[in-house]
Structure 1
Amino acid sequence: MTNGCPPLFILCAPRSFTSLLAAMLGQHPEAYGVPELNLFVEDTLQEMVGAMTDVYAIQLHGLLRTVAELYAGEQTIDAIDMAHRWIVKRIDMTTGEIYKELCRRVAPLRIVDKSPANSATLRRLERISQAFPDACYLHLIRHPFDMSKSLMNLQGGQIMATLTNSIDHSQGYEVLDPQILWYRLNRTVCDFLATVSDRQQMKLRGEDLLNDPKQYLQLICQWLGWSWHDSAYEAMLHPDDSVYARFGPFGAQLGNDPNFLKSPIFKQRHVSTGSLLGALPWRPDNQGFFPHVIELANSFGYE
């Protein structure tokens, strides 16, 4: 039995334009953009569901919405109830087996997945590689200043930083600092991609994409072997046409960045970047970026 086309995984830190890019790519006629599936956080579906309780329960919303849409053709309260039963029926399967079933469901289209949780540990990325040896990986990067500032300004962003242990103890006291999360996730992605064939990976700065979408969307399509024509480009300029580019029904409202779900329309604009120098506004002690953060950012072309 075929497992469908190997997926495209967008690897990233949060607040890195991932929701927008994934939805844009998902509108290509050869792609199927999904919400955050988060399947590879554990080995089995039972372990995954068990881990997604309390504050982590929203991490299941993307899978519920996807199953509802693919198997019921709609995202309603009744369809979400069906999705829960679908999960229970498959609870003993591995998350890789579940993902392959979804790939078969959308075939011949190719799934585009941007779950930031995938990039949290090497073990999760290795699960992807084991399930899909031919998968492609787009490492999407944002300047550490802008990513960190965006996270700290996001409603619930400080809670996210706390839950991901983005706390600096180096000064003898605790400071919540999202640059720790930026470095940890991007470093993990780089370490993983060092084990992956060059043809299966691509690095992209989110600011470059937003400043010149036509050039960089064409580069991505060429890399993936997707067709490139005016109608495909026009479709990708409308991420708001995705069936997932809005809030879902009760019990599965999210599955994506709430800000994106509120306003999923792409508006081309010039995006500038912050500086790697100077004091950071979210720190009360006037400290700047750590040297290792600056070094990694420099390697991505940031100043």
Structure 2
Amino acid sequence: MTGPQRPEPVFMLAPPRSYSTVCLALLAGHPGIYGFPELLLFPLTTVGELLTEGQRAPDLDRRYVEARQSGPLRALAQVHEGSQSDAAIDRARAWLHGHAGWPVTRLFDHLLAEVAPRIGLEKSPDTIGSDQAVAACLAAYPRARFLHLTRHPEATQRSMHRHWQDLTHFHSRRQVIVAAASTWYLGHSRTVRTLSALPAERWLRVTAENLLREPRTWLPRILDWLDLPYDDAVLTRMLHTERWEYAGRGESGRLLGGDAVFMYHPALRAVPDPGPVAFDPAWGLPAEMCRRMTELAELLGYRTADA
């Protein structure tokens, strides 16, 4: 279903640890936007692949796999029953198994239809995890709009280090450090390259630090881009990120579908000024990698130590 009954979706494009969960919760406070948890759509082909990810990649940390499946389960339980109780989650899991042959895009179409006429907003970091995933997104939703969310490269990578260090599929701190740098650089490079080929009205780039530090300045800019009405009461409502339907961890206390830190403490908090771009020498990153990340950060609007 397309047209007035089901607006085209908006995809928030950002690497992991980019404040994307809290920024999505901010936007989901608008009555015309439905913010989904992470649905992991585009690296996959079918719903069955989502259900068997742990079997197909046994080296992945079990907690990581369970967290990834939380988003689709929560979304289905919520749109079908208006509940994320343990029983509703179990029924959502059974529903997914009963539709294992569906393409993942058909699953998303189903969810979009359920929340229409609100605009569906989704933000899985996997969407920019590979050229194939981005291409699948563009092919499935050729009229979608894209919100490119950025976060300071040094702060993003420090956050990745903290949150990835205990995952069993990373075997050393060195592996975490290299993965963090590559994930930030390749994700944003891929996003810049993809969006540059689209009409300017189809995408908007927003610095997460700016949005979280000055939401009353930046939310109107995003809402104007989406052609959505607002007033002071709407903006005030949007600041209550703890009211997002997927804030918290559900009845079981084990559900995620976004940043675990936010799910534990979903109230909006200001973030510090990240300062100029620099990388900790203790990370041991090659000089060429640091140079390329610095150039990309400048393109994204971050200042360097020499600026």
Q: Quick check: TM above 0.5? A: yes
**How big is the shift at 1:124?**
1.2
**Equivalent residues of 1:166, 1:179 under 8 A apart:** no
In structure 1, C-alpha distance between the alignment counterparts of 2:180 and 2:143, rounded to whole Å: 32
Contact 1:166–1:181, Cα closer than 8 Å, also in 2:
no
Q: Deviations along 1:223-281, whole A, 9 cap, x unmatched?
A: 011112112101110110112100024395111111001111113x3621143346345
Corresponding position of 2:59: none
Structure 2 matches for 1:1-303, cutoff 5 A?
A: 1-2=1-2, 4-53=6-55, 54=62, 55-154=64-163, 156-157=164-165, 159=167, 162=170, 167=175, 176=178, 178-250=180-252, 253-267=255-269, 269=270, 271-277=272-278, 279-281=280-282, 283=283, 285=284, 290-302=290-302, 303=304
- CA shift digits 1:172-227 (9 cap, x unpaired): xxx64622211011111112212322111011111111221111100000001111
Change (3 A) 1:103 1:128: same
The one-letter amino acid paired with 1:191 is R
Letter in 2 for 1:162: F
Distance 1:157 1:186, change over 3 A: farther
The two structures, once aligned, show a CA RMSD in angstroms of 2.4
Deviation at 1:133, TM superposition (A): 1.4
Alpha-carbon distance change, 166 to 46 in structure 1, aligned in 2, over 3 angstroms: farther
Consecutive unaligned residues of structure 2, counting only runs of 5 or more, are 56-61
> Which digits, 9 at most, give the CA deviation of each residue in 1:79-131, with x for residues without a partner?
01110121122211111111111100000011111111111012112222222
Contact 2:249 2:256 in 1 (8 A): yes
SS for the counterpart of 1:75 is: coil
The 1-side partners of 2:235 and 2:195 are apart by 28
Amino acid at match of 2:268: F
Asked if the contact 2:12–2:149 (Cα under 8 Å) also holds between the matched residues in 1, the reply is yes
- 2:179, 2:45 → 1: CA distance? 30
* Aligned length in residues: 292
Secondary structure at the aligned position of 2:258 is classed as: coil
Conserved in 1, the CA contact under 8 Å of 2:23 and 2:212?
no
Conserved 8 A contact 2:51-2:97: no
Q: Which one-letter code corresponds to 1:58 in the other structure? A: A
Per-residue CA deviation, residues 34-78 of structure 1 (Å, 9 max, x unaligned), is 111112221221223222554423211110011011112211111
- Which SS does the other structure have where 2:143 is aligned? coil
Give the share of equivalent positions with the same residue, in percent.
27
The answer to whether the Cα contact below 8 Å between 1:4 and 1:103 also exists between their aligned partners in 2 is yes
TM-score normalized by the length of structure 1: 0.88
SS at match of 1:290: helix
Q: 1:122 to 1:158 in 2, by over 3 A?
A: farther
Partner amino acid, structure 1, of 2:242: D
Looking at structure 2, the residues matched to 292 and 5 of structure 1 have their Cα atoms a distance apart, in angstroms, of 38
Closer/same/farther in 2, CA of residues 301 and 292 from structure 1, 3 Å limit: same
8 A contact 1:61–1:251 mirrored in 2: no
Counterpart secondary structure, 1:29:
coil
Q: Are 1:167 and 1:176, in contact at CA under 8 Å, matched by a contact in 2?
A: yes
Q: What is the CA–CA distance in structure 2 between the aligned matches of 1:80 and 1:270, rounded to whole Å?
A: 33
TM-score normalised according to structure 2 size: 0.87
Change (3 A) 1:16 1:209: same
